[in-house]
Structure 1
Amino acid sequence: MKQQMARTVLGDVPADQLGIVYAHEHLIIQGGLGVMKNKDLLLNQVDYAVAEVKECMQYGAQSFVDYMPLDSGRHPSALVDIAKQTGAHIIAVTGFHKPMYYDDLHWIYHYSVDQIAELLIQECEVGMDRYSYNGPLVERLDAKAGVLKGASDYNVIAPVSRKLLEAVAIAHIATGVPIATHTEHGTCGLEQIELLAKFGVDPKNVIICHMDRNPDLYLHKELAATGCFLEYDNASRIKYHPDSHSVELIRGLIEAGHEKQLILGTDFALRSYWKAYGGGPGMSHLLASFVPRLRAEGLGDEQLNLLLRDNPANAYSLKKAARDEVV
């Protein structure tokens, strides 16, 4: 059997060498429309990111997936610097956030689906644009993207988001790079899977994120039944739900036989969440506090290894691309 590989900013590595994975993070947000609307989103200090990553590594973390997509604050060269300074595996994203991150004159509204797909393919196979396509010049780094991202809004997938998800699907089929999606408050996960399947994507190659923002176990079982991965990152977000909700969702999905489809992250995309910026609880909370709680609530080593190691290794591994099919 061919060894599974994951695409990091410093090159492809065997997926089973990723170790403990922080499955949905924001290490750098250098600016963009989102930051203009909310200054708490500005995470522009490499040394602060290095400090947070190193603290997580003290608890055993080895890999981090940065989810900032195109032209919304992504900083590929900074991700390379973080990887080199920490020794961590960093996986970068290409693709798109929800429409609020782009103004109404942005190229996402004017380029064709095929043109957008080609831009994504180049990011995955040639190298990420240093400027994340905020244009007009393109300067490709050696670092390649290892995840394709799409997004939807609260209870709706806007027309432009459907268009972008189609481009993401085309790029996935061409490159084998896995897909991950933003759901707003855990809505439209099933609709995203249905849409991507319509475009030819196997749900087992898709990660649906933030689902624990919508702590409806019945819905989560429905989604898991499609074969996709579910990413949970609500731990410590008491303003939404107590951690007991996330614990019960995890236990419920494990009891339903979906223990191989769950991955965990923090999604700490605000200064106020980071110790380095004077906030809290810090990215280390996942391993320092939440995982010990899962253990205290009855999860054993085998189950925790699935959530932290094996499942993300499978979720973030490169899939069989169209060009690899036997003719």
Structure 2
Amino acid sequence: MNDSYVRTVLDDVPSSELGIVYSHEHLIIQGGLGVMKKNDLRLDSVDKAVSEIEDCKRFGAKTFVDCMPLDSGRNPAALVEIAEKTETHIIATTGFHKPMYYDDLHWIYHYSIDQIVELLIQECTLGMDKHSYNGPLVERLPAKAGILKGASDYNSIKPVSIKLFEAIALAHLETGVPILTHTEHGTCGMEQIELLSKYGVDPENVIICHMDRNPDLFVHEELAQTGCYIEYDNATRVKYHPISETVDMITGLIEAGYGDKVLLGTDFALRSYWKAYGGGPGMAYLLESFIPRLRQHGLSDHLISNILTNNPQQAFSVRRLIKEQKYTGISELSDATFL
């Protein structure tokens, strides 16, 4: 895959140039129902995001995947500014969060599947809407989304989320942009894979997130067997479980033969987690403290390099259609194939 590439907010870049990747972050959250309900979610400072990233760069970080999707606090223009100021690669997200981020009059409930698919395709191929489709006018930026996101709730996938998973699946089949998902407490990962597969998505193009919130290695191995990527981002959340459990899950997946399916991030979507906002432990914790913990547990530099660099190169690559195919409707997308 020497010609593989990743879509960042500044440009498409060869996958080999990503370097060390933070695979699940939230650099900016400005507005939206989430912030209205919980002020700790308000990450509204470009300067503070720059400060956190610069701290991570001291340990070699080069790429950050911002996972805030449509109309839930995403600010594409701010992501461009952060990328330019820090000279890092930032991958932005289009798609959707769980229903609690949208009121019951939101367009996700009323637009047709075809309409939503077209909106997602445009974000990936033409440029993201400056206002993240919170309407009514669209001001499209040159910056494109490099991830499609879907989300489920605790032990359930609501009807509107099923609709949105179908939309992101079909947008993926048209654009080749990979899919990343939110699981609530690590539940419904397999159900997400089954749903996406139903619409023709290869699990190898899917990243299932927050799985260390459900520290059941059997479940993780079952998911990895499908070919999807398993993303861990709770290594500092001792309020949920000790850090040793995340270490054990990573080493367990490696021992089971799935080391090439592991990704790491921090998912620090609260200002109380950021040093720049006066909290902690700060995003640099991942490289400064957790990676040394993995080394002490016996992981070689080669295995760690796979998790931080080689695996993300594959996971976040945009797939090329084997045969050029113009999007003409949902029914014609299900048989699309990717290199």
Q: Is this contact kept in 2: 1:174–1:323, CA < 8 A?
A: no
List gaps (5 residues or longer) in structure 1.
Answer: none
Q: Is the partner of 1:193 in helix, strand or coil?
A: helix
Distance 2:109 2:247 in 1: 40
In the TM superposition, what whole-angstrom CA distance separates every residue of 1:124-163 from its partner, at most 9, and x where no partner exists? 0000000000000000000000000000000000000000
Partner of 1:106: 106
Q: Is this contact kept in 2: 1:174–1:322, CA < 8 A?
A: no
Q: Is the partner of 2:277 in helix, strand or coil?
A: coil
Q: Is this contact kept in 2: 1:173–1:322, CA < 8 A?
A: no
In the alignment, does 2:323 pair up with 1:315? Answer: no
Partner of 1:13: 13
Shift of residue 324, structure 1, vs aligned partner: 3.5
TM-score normalized by the length of structure 1 = 0.98
Distance 1:106 1:266 in 2: 29
Shift of residue 320, structure 1, vs aligned partner: 2.6
Distance 1:155 1:82 in 2: 36
Q: Is the partner of 1:165 in helix, strand or coil?
A: helix
Q: Is the partner of 1:84 in helix, strand or coil?
A: helix
Partner of 1:152: 152
Runs of 4+ in 1 over 6 A off after TM superposition: none
Partner of 1:237: 237
Shift of residue 11, structure 1, vs aligned partner: 0.6
Q: Is this contact kept in 2: 1:64–1:89, CA < 8 A?
A: yes
In the alignment, does 2:167 pair up with 1:188? Answer: no
Q: Is this contact kept in 2: 1:22–1:266, CA < 8 A?
A: yes
Distance 1:324 1:259 in 2: 33
| 1:215-254 map, 5 Å | 215-254=215-254
In the TM superposition, what whole-angstrom CA distance separates every residue of 1:67-119 from its partner, at most 9, and x where no partner exists? 00000000000000000000010000000000000000000000011100100
Aligned length: 327
One-letter amino acid of the structure 1 residue matched with residue 3 of structure 2: Q
Q: Is the partner of 1:10 in helix, strand or coil?
A: coil
Distance 2:311 2:322 in 1: 24
Partner of 1:73: 73
Q: Is the partner of 2:65 in helix, strand or coil?
A: strand
Q: Is this contact kept in 2: 1:217–1:249, CA < 8 A?
A: yes
One-letter amino acid of the structure 1 residue matched with residue 189 of structure 2: G
List gaps (5 residues or longer) in structure 2.
Answer: 326-335
Q: Is the partner of 1:276 in helix, strand or coil?
A: helix
Q: Is this contact kept in 2: 1:21–1:62, CA < 8 A?
A: yes
One-letter amino acid of the structure 2 residue matched with residue 17 of structure 1: E
Partner of 1:126: 126
Shift of residue 322, structure 1, vs aligned partner: 7.0
Q: Is this contact kept in 2: 1:193–1:203, CA < 8 A?
A: yes
TM-score normalized by the length of structure 2 = 0.95
Partner of 2:53: 53
- Structure 1 residues 68 and 322: CA distance shift in structure 2, 3 A: farther
Partner of 2:96: 96
Distance 1:322 1:112 in 2: 28
Partner of 1:286: 286
Q: Is the partner of 2:21 in helix, strand or coil?
A: strand
One-letter amino acid of the structure 1 residue matched with residue 31 of structure 2: G
Aligned alpha-carbon RMSD (Å) = 1.2
Partner of 2:329: none
One-letter amino acid of the structure 1 residue matched with residue 55 of structure 2: E
Distance 2:299 2:113 in 1: 44
Q: Is the partner of 1:148 in helix, strand or coil?
A: strand
Distance 2:117 2:73 in 1: 20
| 1:130-145 map, 5 Å | 130-145=130-145
Q: Is this contact kept in 2: 1:25–1:66, CA < 8 A?
A: yes
Distance 2:118 2:234 in 1: 34
> Percent identity between the aligned chains?
69
Distance 2:321 2:58 in 1: 36
